[in-house]
Amino acid sequence: MLLIRDSIGVPGLNPGYIDFLKRQAAGTTANKELLNKVFESFRSVDSFHIPRPSLAVCRANVRIRAGDCEEPFLNALCDGANYTIRKILPKRINGDTLNGENFKLYIMTLVENFKRNQIDVANLIQAIDHYRLSKLMTAERNAFLAHFSEVFEEQSLPMDPEAFALTMKPLIEKSILSFIAKVPGADEEKEPKTNAYREMLNETGNEKAAFNATCFMKMQSMKPEDQAKLKKVTRAVLLGIGVGGLVVATVGGVAAVVIYGSGATTVSSVVVTVQRLMASEVVCF
């Protein structure tokens, strides 16, 4: 915005002044090119006119108080500032408006990344993009887990591994499509982010499939009363049911215990433990 001080006439916006400048510059090629380059550097150019301040300001020596400028000048200056604030578009990154909350998240993400030495965050855009991607991946994974629990709640668990994989496959595909739809940017920008989410989701799915397969195989050699107990453990781990319990096994006379449920352990740790105890007699409480 061109701010014209000591302007004669009505203060405020004056679009006609831009036309006046163009007509004045048209007289010489150098001036015309210079003015065109200035206008081409901005989305739009406005002209805002402010009257001359009081004589006290014009005659002041070094120190000037705002009150000495008098109301006409100060009011016009405030109007110009308010117009600029209303006209300026906020900074947008990946479709999101940058505000105080985003900036706080950027700082927190930046500090954490440097602490963990996970990535080299060079600037604000990278940090916010990294945070937004992590947040989106977590949200979509949680949505997948919720959908998984809804679908498999109706199933008898543990179930045949092949049937388990067939039931879970469309859930993974749907989650990936949902993720792609929410990732901003062109297709080539989405691809590495989608691959990262697909890898994370496949890891989650593989953990669940491995645990189901382990329990399904073990259940085949169990007595009916023990099968019912193992089914309870399987459902608690796979569906994230918030109940606590123990899987106790004996290996060479040594007791091994796995805590499950209530967030006490992860599916992967349970899978590893159960796989190590495949040859043992498993009793569930």
Enumerate the domain spans of the chain: 2-87
Digit-by-digit pLDDT tens for the chain (285 residues) are 788 888 877 888 888 888 888 888 888 888 888 888 888 877 788 888 888 888 877 777 767 777 778 888 888 888 888 888 887 777 765 566 777 766 777 677 767 766 666 555 455 566 667 777 888 898 899 999 999 999 998 888 899 999 999 999 999 999 999 999 988 778 888 889 999 999 999 999 998 999 899 889 988 888 888 888 888 888 888 887 543 444 433 333 333 334 443 333 444 444 444 444 443 434 333
Q: Which two tokens stand for residue 159?
A: 């179930």
What's the pLDDT tens digit per position in 227-283? 888 888 888 888 875 434 444 333 333 333 344 433 334 444 444 444 444 434 343
Tell me the pTM. 0.48
Note whether 212 and 161 are within 8 A (CB): yes
